[in-house]
Amino acid sequence: MCLASWRSGALPVVARREPLTCRRAITYNQKMRVRILGCSGNLVGRHRTTSFLLDDSFLLDAGTVTEAIRRRDLRKIKHVLISHTHMDHVKGLFPLVDELVMMGDYSVELVSVGSVLDIITNNLLNNLIWPDFTVIPSVSNAVIRLREIPLGRPTILDKISVMPVLMTHTVYTVGFVIRQDDGWGFMFTADTGPTRRFWEVAEGEKDIRFIIADVSFPNRLADLATLSGHMTPAMLMENIDAHDLGDRLFYVSHMKPVFASEIIAEFERSGRRNIRFLKQSEILTL
Ligand SMILES: [Zn+2]
Ligand SMILES: [Zn+2]
């Protein structure tokens, strides 16, 4: 029932079709939902690895897919945006496309910068590690369609704007600025050690609700963090201060489960009120 007609005194008519204008009013300004399918730095126990479902149709990284999304909802996924090719960020892609082929006439667009797509096609979908689903079930009707997007420039995919930013990790990795069509957005570092470009971009980006940042190790393991291309609490806080981002809300992600309580304690000792810890299965809204 349209609110406008209710207020004007019209009685509700159960079988009556809603006017189109009312439907528009209901869907207008919907906030994007960011469902955290996994955000852990390792797959152990109940911990699942990085994957965020934006609304129903857009996956940001694919570390966790079929084990967290109902089978009938898998077919709603239209885009799979990949930050980098480490297994904890891509392994869910393989059972997803296998399942979509079994279901019938469904496909996904695999989206990233060219360097990331090249690694996936040459090393994963190579008929050795996994079948080449870019030609299955047929070349003209493949379940994976590749979509290369440019580094450093926004691309619109079904009303969602994505801009890749080069990060500092052990393989070619991009973080992202993600925005819905009303302009509000969030940023995601993906996996990264201390880096510069992403934080410079963050300084200039307005209307950012939150920044999801990789902090995998506690401060005492700074050398290991640097070697493996991740951050410690001290490294993240140093970047926040260096780029004057203290008024932004941060969600810490990718903590190694064995170090999670130590990392949380280090942030809590800092007394910073703008830092939260991403939780598996929670839903953030823009
Ligand atoms: Zn990685
Ligand atoms: Zn990772």
Write the CATH number for 120: 3.60.15.10
Is 6 a member of any domain? no
Using alpha carbons only, what angle is made at residue 112 by residues 109 and 116, rounded to the nearest 5 degrees?
Answer: 120
Q: What is the pLDDT of residue 14?
A: 36
How sure is the predictor about 105, in pLDDT bands with cuts at 50, 70 and 90?
confident
Q: Which residue has the higher pLDDT, 68 or 10?
A: 68
Helices and strands (H, E) in the chain, number of each type: 10, 14
pLDDT tens sequence across 31-60 = 999 999 999 999 999 999 999 999 999 999
Mean pLDDT over 99-124 rounds to 96
Query: How far is the centre of ligand 2, averaged over its atoms, from the C-alpha of 117 (Å)?
Result: 17
| CA 226 to ligand 2 center in whole angstroms | 14
Name the pLDDT band for 4 (thresholds 50, 70, 90): very low
Torsion angle, CA of 203/198/144/182, rounded to 10 degrees?
0
What pLDDT was estimated at residue 20?
Answer: 41
Question: What is the span of the domain harbouring residue 260?
Answer: 31-278
Here the contacts of 262-268 (C-beta below 8 Å, separation 24 or greater) are: 262/218, 263/215, 263/217, 263/218, 263/232, 263/233, 266/218, 266/219, 266/232, 266/233, 266/234, 267/233
Residues 103-113: what's their mean pLDDT? 94
Distance 208 CA to ligand 1 centre (A): 24
Going from the Cα of 239 to the center of ligand 2, the distance in angstroms, rounded, reads: 20
Ion ligand 2 residues within 5 Å by Cβ: 88, 191
In a domain, 254, yes or no: yes
- 198-236 pLDDT, tens digit per residue, is 999 999 999 999 999 999 999 999 999 999 999 999 999
- Is-contact 101 136, C-beta < 8 A? yes
> Is the omega angle on the peptide bond into residue 137 within 30 degrees of 0, that is, cis?
yes
Model pLDDT, residue 29: 57
Quick: pLDDT tens for 261-285: 999 999 999 999 999 999 999 999 9
Residue 167, SS3 per DSSP: coil
- 190 occurs within a structural domain: yes
DSSP per-residue codes, 170-221: SS--EEEEEE-TTS-EEEE--S-SS-SHHHHHHHH--SEEEEEEE--S-GGG
For residue 50, the CA-to-ligand 2 centroid distance in Å is: 7
Tell me the percentage of the chain whose pLDDT exceeds 70: 90
Say if 285 falls within a structural domain: no
Query: Between vectors from CA 65 to CA 175 and to CA 136, what angle results, nearest 5°?
Result: 95
SS3 101: helix
Is residue 180 within 8 A of residue 159, CB to CB? The reply is yes
pLDDT at position 3 = 35
Cβ-based neighbour number of residue 146 at 10 Å: 16
Who surrounds ion ligand 1 at CB < 5 A? 86, 191
pLDDT in tens, 120-155: 999 999 999 999 999 999 999 999 999 999 999 999
> Has residue 179 been placed in a domain?
yes
Per the prediction, the chain carries an average pLDDT of 91
Query: Is 60 inside any structural domain?
Result: yes
What is the count of structural domains for the chain? 1
Q: Is the pLDDT of residue 9 over 50?
A: no
The confidence score (pLDDT) of residue 30 equals 78
In the β-sheet with 155-157, what is the strand arrangement from edge to edge?
155-157, 160-166, 174-179, 185-188, 208-214, 250-253, 275-277
**Residue whose structure tokens are 């996904």:** 108
- The answer, yes or no, to whether residue 91 has pLDDT greater than 50, is yes
Answer yes or no: is 188 within a domain.
yes
Mean pLDDT score, 251-256: 98
Q: Is the predicted pLDDT of residue 170 greater than 60, yes or no?
A: yes
d(C-alpha 148, C-alpha 110), whole Å: 8
